[in-house]
């Protein structure tokens, strides 16, 4: 009696991730027009039948990939929190009594997002594509959390009274995800990329001093920029 071949254990979750990673790559390079379930299956190293078990039509695969990218951003930038969970500690309850902590928290957040966007340009391109294609971009989970963080700041006594959260969120996010295009053209090493990430984060912080935070914060912000980034406001 012939010995039965041991079947390789299937891991549906790992297979799904591999398919989504492949779809992310194709979507970033060729857009939705260049993506098909079969091309994604080939890049992911799975057979077409398996890919179709997970995603029966191209549109389902694209939607799942776009949602997955937004959640990747959420995890990376907001330190593992989801929309219904607690925001990061450095974004909690900003107020005038804790301005040094508020400024340090803003600086850390700016740098974290700038570095992630620069090191993962495909993520930014896909996220922008998704926002442009959505009927209501406010429904994106990453945008929601980002706007939520700005709203928390806006509701505090540390911010100016006339802050427009939605406009500021759009301005900041488009900047974060377009800046990597300039970085790619000029930075030839990881050190250079980190320096350009720091430049962008510092400029966002400087603009916050003049358009977001109250005048009480200016001296602290100037001291932070000078000591941490060698930048004059």
Residues 210 and 134 in one domain: yes
Written as tens digits, the pLDDT of the chain (233 aa) is 444 443 445 688 899 999 999 999 999 888 888 899 999 999 999 999 999 999 999 999 999 999 999 998 998 888 654 444 444 444 445 666 667 777 788 888 899 999 999 999 999 999 999 999 889 999 999 999 999 988 988 888 878 788 899 999 999 999 999 999 999 999 989 999 999 999 999 899 888 877 777 666 667 667 766 766 655 44
193 located within any domain: yes
User: How many distinct structural domains can be found in the chain?
Assistant: 2
C-alpha torsion sign, points 192, 197, 200, 201: negative
DSSP H or E segment with residue 51: helix 48-54
Q: Are 216 and 158 members of one domain?
A: yes
- What span, in angstroms and rounded, lies between the C-alpha atoms of 192 and 49? 44
95/201 same-domain check: yes
In this structure, are residues 73 and 128 in contact, taking their beta carbons and an 8 Å threshold? no
CATH number (domain holding residue 25): 1.10.10.60
The range of the structural domain enclosing residue 114 comes to 87-229
Residue 103 within a domain? yes
Q: How much is the pLDDT for 220?
A: 67
DSSP state of 159: B
- 19 and 123: one domain? no
Long-range CB pairs of 135-139 (<8 Å, 24+ gap) are none
């Amino acid at each position: 009696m012939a010995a039965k071949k041991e079947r390789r254990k299937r891991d549906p979750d790992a297979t799904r991730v591999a398919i989504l990673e492949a779809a992310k790559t194709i979507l970033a390079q060729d857009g939705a027009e260049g993506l098909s379930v079969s091309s994604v299956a080939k890049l992911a190293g799975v057979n077409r039948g398996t890919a179709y078990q997970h995603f029966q039509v191209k549109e389902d695969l694209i939607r799942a990939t776009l949602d997955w990218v937004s959640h990747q951003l959420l995890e990376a930038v907001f330190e593992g929190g989801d929309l219904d969970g607690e925001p990061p500690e450095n974004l909690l309850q900003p107020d005038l009594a804790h301005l040094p902590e508020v400024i340090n928290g803003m600086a850390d957040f700016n740098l974290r997002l700038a570095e992630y966007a620069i090191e993962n340009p495909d993520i930014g391109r896909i996220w922008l594509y998704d926002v442009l294609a959505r009927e209501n971009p406010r429904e994106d989970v990453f945008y929601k959390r980002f706007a939520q963080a700005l709203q928390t700041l806006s509701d505090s006594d540390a911010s100016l009274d006339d802050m427009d959260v939605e406009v500021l969120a759009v301005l900041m996010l488009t900047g974060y995800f377009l800046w990597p295009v300039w970085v790619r053209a000029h930075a030839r090493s990881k050190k250079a990329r980190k320096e350009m990430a720091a430049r962008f984060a510092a400029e966002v912080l400087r603009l916050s001093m003049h358009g977001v935070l109250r005048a009480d914060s200016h001296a602290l912000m100037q001291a932070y920029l000078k000591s941490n980034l060698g930048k004059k406001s």
